Structure 1
Amino acid sequence: MKNKFNSLLAIFCLSAIFYSCQSEQVDLLIHNATIYTVDGSFSIAEAMAIKDGEIVAVGANNAIKNKYAGKNTIDAELNPVFPGFIDAHCHFLGLGNTFFTVDLVGTKSWEEVLSKTLEFADKNKEGWITGRGWDHNDWPTKSFPNKKSLDSLFPNRPVLLSRVDGHAAIANQKALELAKVDVNTFFEGGIIEMVDGNLSGILIDNAVDSVRKAIPEQTQNMMKKALLAAEGACFSKGLTTLDDAYLENAVAHLINEMHTSNELKIKVYGMLSPSEENKTDFLKNGPYLKDKLSIRSFKYFADGALGSRGARLNKPYHDDPQYKGLFLNDSLYFMEEAKALNSGGYQMNTHCIGDAANRMMLKIYAEVLKGTNDKRWRIEHAQVVDPVDLSLFKKNNIIPSVQPTHATSDMYWAENRLGAKRIQHAYAYKTLLKLNGLISLGTDFPVEDHDPLKTFYAACIRKDANEYPDNGFQMENALSREEALKGMTIWAAISNFEETEKGSLEVEKKADFVILDQDIMTIDPSKILSTKVLSTYLDGEEVYRKN
């Protein structure tokens, strides 16, 4: 009996060795999963094999396990696997900087802003005090604050606190003095608010930039710390590619250096700021395309934000009948820039909130693009678009790039700004999707939270975290779950010219994927926001695992 057992054991071992020799070796094999491939037929698979950072096979459990043997194997325990999420509009360094400044997101009053600023100043004794995240629309008194309290608390230390959208800020007197701003200062495309003939401290759009320029530049070491902090936060939410929507020259070069040294891993699609340095370094030399850094676009601002009434409207604000908002530059400037980008082979991506800003830029795009094309120029936000202008998206293959959480953040007060009629044409994602059959989705972090599942929830469910309103906000423009997922993956990749390498889980594409603990495609809507990322993979390498 013993000899027979030994013989059987030997046969089994030899069979195992023979089988392993016959199997193709891969670096990673995932099985027992629900894999949303987001391919052309939106197929669902069970297993996936990965080698050298790329997907070599996707299919049924038995088919993949019989053909491949993995150096590492993951039993996904039936958890869902999705392509790595792409944030189609965000501010990478801006997110990192929030870890080292005053966090004012969610403050419910000006008094709470002051309290948090004092707490920060007590822990950080020197230099400028900067912060971001307050929104006066969330306060009992919905008017802009005044700098008097800041002047009293910080007479000798400069303070600049930005509104949540970054298009408005409040500065104390010391900051204004260092920036050489007084009652006689004027900025094209910006506002310095005056109250009873005195500076209130409120700055809007280009006026904010004038004070920011007075802040000492970050050291390279500070920027590295901020970028790495932001990378870790993004990986923990399943993000694998970030579309940085205003990349300054020094930051672009630093990201490239950190990628080269492997200090930084997350992939970046850079929309450059239109500085002379960027035009010299990039525009004149054509698109800059590396494995993890793609630079082939420039970002512009046509107007400001709706919350601070900087968005440029065709007709006056409903709650300010004498005012239409701001153009941040004139049409001649944008036309010349558009022609230069077109000649240089670069994509043009323009921030447009108000219907007047959208109309101006759509017409400029149309004149330069001249109909059907594959330039993939984008309108960022496309927040309020007059129906008569919608056809320009379709005729010129212009991509709407939107941030669904703006809709659910703004819905409490947006109708006050726009009026009952005009609000119907705002945050119209389904309408925009139908024009060209795709729409790219982002968060606009740190304006909004960097969690893409909040993007998904806002796009489909159109409610806040408290499930308000009961029936959703303007549900005729909600996206389906499949559409929302595509907007965060393959459609975002298309808007970046990267659909052949990412955005779906298909053979020969990069193995960028995320494993979640719940299936956001099927669970009850109330559970979507409680979904957690179990692990995130970039080029087949695990870059995040939930503890």
Structure 2
Amino acid sequence: MRFSTSILAGACAATTLLGATVAQAEPTVVTNVHGYTLVGKKLVTFTGMAFDNGKVLATGNDAALVKRYPRATRVDGEGKTMLPGLIDVHGHVFRLGFRRNEVLMGGTQNLDEALAKIRDYAKANPNRQWLLGSGWNQVIWKLGRFPTAAELDGAVADRPMTLRRVDGHATWANSKALQAAGITKDTPDPAGGRIERDAAGNPSGVLVDKAQLLVTSKIPAPTDEERRLALGTALAHFGSLGLTNVGDAGIGVDEARIYREFADQKKLTTRIYAMISDVGDDFKALSASGPLKGYANDRYNLRAVKLRGDGALGSRGAAMLDPYSDDHANKGLLLQDDATMNAKVQAALKAGYQTNTHAIGDAANHQILNAYQAAYKDVGGKQLRNRIEHAQVVTLADIPRFKTLDLIASMQPTHATSDMNMAEDRIGKERLKGAYAWHTFLKQGTVVAGGSDFPVESANPFYGLHAAVTRTDHEGKPAQGWHPEEAMTLLQAFRAFTLDAAYAQHQEKVLGSLERGKWADFILVDQDPFKEPPANLWKTLVLQTWVGGERVYRKE
């Protein structure tokens, strides 16, 4: 257990062992808090918590704990609210870190504003050979179409530039980037992808799903030093948000190497539950010794595989059983055929890896459900707590299959509040009955694990809690919530980001609640989410974050 000098003061007692004098750490008691934790299905309150060697000894009345541990180091919680550290089961850690050094389009209200921001970024970064950005959303810009390479050339014409759409399923490229990728009128659409074209058939500047690889494969790979910087940036951000554990949805050998390095050097200030991206060469290399469980005092796990079934709703890449309501010639894109998907699921399960598969459209969800069903019959693996990531639009007939197949619904509440401005246009009222259906899943007994899909959405878990409970934006719109019948209760949402998130990562015995023997991962926040109006949940500020009894963040 490591503490800052101020915390260590007075915390050690001299103990004689075989004639040698060694320092033995005394327990720490945090007092004067309004604490909450789940114990089973019950929400338990407390005013103090004791921990030692990074693990919880007890929660309860703070005065009684001080009396029980009279020599303990005391930390005054100053009357703040204590919660278990929050968990985001689905994000993209290195991408978040890299993105904080890119131009971010989030918040831009129109194309002109976005181009001005891009122009300023290019001027401020004259030495970058390839400019990167993300976060654009033509729906918010009210373009009624995708932006074009010619429009991006108006801001940056001298160097290649590519910008990922907010959902990560489309890339906007300028002419230099298209040229670098060799994309012309004669370039065919790749399987699982689409090149947007103008009326004459020329590439217009946007590449959807697997077509993105045509240009992104030309971007110079980051160095290990750049990866270290990105990871450090992401970890610092997580601490400020109260995230003590995150799931990294899709890594390769390079990222795995950096994670192990950080874990060995005790620099993983947020626990990482990583998923190997697909079952190709990286999987073969990383799985040679089998799943990695509980490495470095549960700081790092690599025991899952991330597969992808389709694209996203905003770019109409999500695979639908019937055509889009606003594009009758388009059903979206399955990224592989049934046989290929079945083979991938079976390869991961046969190797003993939990399998977590991205599926947004109802056709993709149907394909993945079939793949799990077939795999259980052929190779087993049902006990691995397999997941469908997003489970965003599911036919009503397919929803019960999640329970039958013991699948976890790994869902991102802010996707609903981000998509509510276009979801009905895309799929119509009838298909919305099985979309963002958190309450329906919970009612049938399916575990719903909370996440954000950062950096597609903000990594702030209080944004997710707010969206889950209110189904409104931060201005409280729509007034009664968007399809409020599918909202979670606050207790359900809290569970989705704590104990059920830990369960979805095979960690409920060591994380997710502040119970004896579990890691002392906790946060202090500025308001009590169980007493504040739900509309204020997103405003919650994290004051301190502790991981394994060690403070890793303190708000200045």
In the superposition, the TM-score normalised over structure 2's length comes to: 0.92
Given that residues 190 and 205 in structure 1 are in contact (C-alpha distance below 8 angstroms), is that contact kept between their aligned partners in structure 2?
A: yes
Q: d(CA) in 2 for partners of 1:301 and 1:173?
A: 29
SS of 1:522's equivalent in the other structure is coil
Q: d(CA) in 2 for partners of 1:488 and 1:272?
A: 22
> 1:301: how far off?
1.1
> 1:462: how far off?
0.8
In the other structure, the counterpart of 1:317 is 324
In the other structure, the counterpart of 1:158 is 160
SS of 2:272's equivalent in the other structure is strand
> 1:183: how far off?
1.9
Q: d(CA) in 1 for partners of 2:472 and 2:165?
A: 23
Q: d(CA) in 2 for partners of 1:500 and 1:210?
A: 44
Check if 1:212 corresponds to 2:213.
no
**Correspondence 1:458-477 to 2 at 5 A:** 458-477=467-486
The equivalent position to 2:203 in structure 1, one of 195, 199, 203, is 199
Q: d(CA) in 2 for partners of 1:419 and 1:384?
A: 11
Measured against aligned partners, the alpha-carbon deviations of 1:178-228 in whole angstroms (never above 9, x if no partner) come to 122222223100000110221101100001122111000001111111111
**Correspondence 1:373-412 to 2 at 5 A:** 373-412=382-421
Q: d(CA) in 2 for partners of 1:372 and 1:188?
A: 30
In the other structure, the counterpart of 1:16 is none
In the other structure, the counterpart of 1:17 is none
Check if 1:527 corresponds to 2:536.
yes
Distance 1:339 1:373, change over 3 A: closer
Q: d(CA) in 2 for partners of 1:264 and 1:45?
A: 29
In the other structure, the counterpart of 2:362 is 355
Specify which structure has the higher proportion of helix: 1
Measured against aligned partners, the alpha-carbon deviations of 1:150-197 in whole angstroms (never above 9, x if no partner) come to 234433310101110110111112111212222222310000011022
Q: Name the stretch that deviates more: 442-451 or 70-79.
A: 70-79
In the other structure, the counterpart of 1:287 is 291
The equivalent position to 2:371 in structure 1, one of 364, 388, 411, is 364
Structure 2 letter corresponding to 1:187 = P
Given that residues 526 and 543 in structure 2 are in contact (C-alpha distance below 8 angstroms), is that contact kept between their aligned partners in structure 1?
A: yes
Distance 1:416 1:537, change over 3 A: same
SS of 2:288's equivalent in the other structure is helix
> 1:373: how far off?
3.8
Structure 2 letter corresponding to 1:166 = G
> 1:283: how far off?
2.5
Q: d(CA) in 2 for partners of 1:426 and 1:475?
A: 12
Q: d(CA) in 1 for partners of 2:381 and 2:269?
A: 36
Structure 2 letter corresponding to 1:252 = A
Structure 2 letter corresponding to 1:121 = A
Dislocated runs of 4+, deviation >6 Å? none
The equivalent position to 1:434 in structure 2, one of 427, 437, 443, is 443
In the other structure, the counterpart of 1:68 is 69
Q: d(CA) in 2 for partners of 1:141 and 1:279?
A: 41
Given that residues 204 and 310 in structure 1 are in contact (C-alpha distance below 8 angstroms), is that contact kept between their aligned partners in structure 2?
A: yes
Given that residues 396 and 433 in structure 2 are in contact (C-alpha distance below 8 angstroms), is that contact kept between their aligned partners in structure 1?
A: no
Given that residues 118 and 155 in structure 2 are in contact (C-alpha distance below 8 angstroms), is that contact kept between their aligned partners in structure 1?
A: no
In the other structure, the counterpart of 1:188 is 191
**Correspondence 1:448-527 to 2 at 5 A:** 448-527=457-536
In the other structure, the counterpart of 1:39 is 39
Distance 1:329 1:70, change over 3 A: farther
> 1:437: how far off?
4.3
Q: d(CA) in 2 for partners of 1:70 and 1:401?
A: 43
Structure 2 letter corresponding to 1:415 = E
In the other structure, the counterpart of 1:96 is 97
SS of 2:143's equivalent in the other structure is coil
Q: Name the stretch that deviates more: 524-533 or 460-469.
A: 524-533
Q: d(CA) in 2 for partners of 1:475 and 1:233?
A: 31
> 1:77: how far off?
3.0
Distance 1:358 1:195, change over 3 A: same
Structure 1 letter corresponding to 2:149 = K
The equivalent position to 2:350 in structure 1, one of 332, 343, 354, is 343
Measured against aligned partners, the alpha-carbon deviations of 1:506-538 in whole angstroms (never above 9, x if no partner) come to 001001001111111221123222211110000
SS of 1:363's equivalent in the other structure is helix
> 1:276: how far off?
3.1
Structure 1 letter corresponding to 2:283 = K
> 1:70: how far off?
5.5
Distance 1:74 1:177, change over 3 A: same
Distance 1:382 1:261, change over 3 A: same
Structure 2 letter corresponding to 1:43 = V
Structure 2 letter corresponding to 1:492 = A
Q: Name the stretch that deviates more: 225-234 or 66-75.
A: 66-75
Given that residues 349 and 381 in structure 2 are in contact (C-alpha distance below 8 angstroms), is that contact kept between their aligned partners in structure 1?
A: no
> 1:278: how far off?
2.3
SS of 2:241's equivalent in the other structure is coil
Distance 1:369 1:42, change over 3 A: farther
Residues matched between the structures, number: 526
**Correspondence 1:17-32 to 2 at 5 A:** 26-32=26-32
SS of 1:526's equivalent in the other structure is helix
The equivalent position to 2:145 in structure 1, one of 120, 125, 143, is 143
In the other structure, the counterpart of 1:12 is none
Q: d(CA) in 1 for partners of 2:169 and 2:138?
A: 13
Distance 1:276 1:467, change over 3 A: same
Given that residues 352 and 381 in structure 2 are in contact (C-alpha distance below 8 angstroms), is that contact kept between their aligned partners in structure 1?
A: no
Structure 2 letter corresponding to 1:304 = G
> 1:279: how far off?
1.8
In the other structure, the counterpart of 2:275 is 271
Structure 1 letter corresponding to 2:181 = A
Structure 1 letter corresponding to 2:529 = I
Structure 1 letter corresponding to 2:109 = K
Please give the root-mean-square deviation of Cα atoms over the aligned residues, in Å.
Answer: 1.7
Where structure 1 has 5 or more consecutive residues not aligned to the other structure, the ranges are: 1-19
Task: Give me the identity figure in percent.
Answer: 38
> 1:72: how far off?
3.0
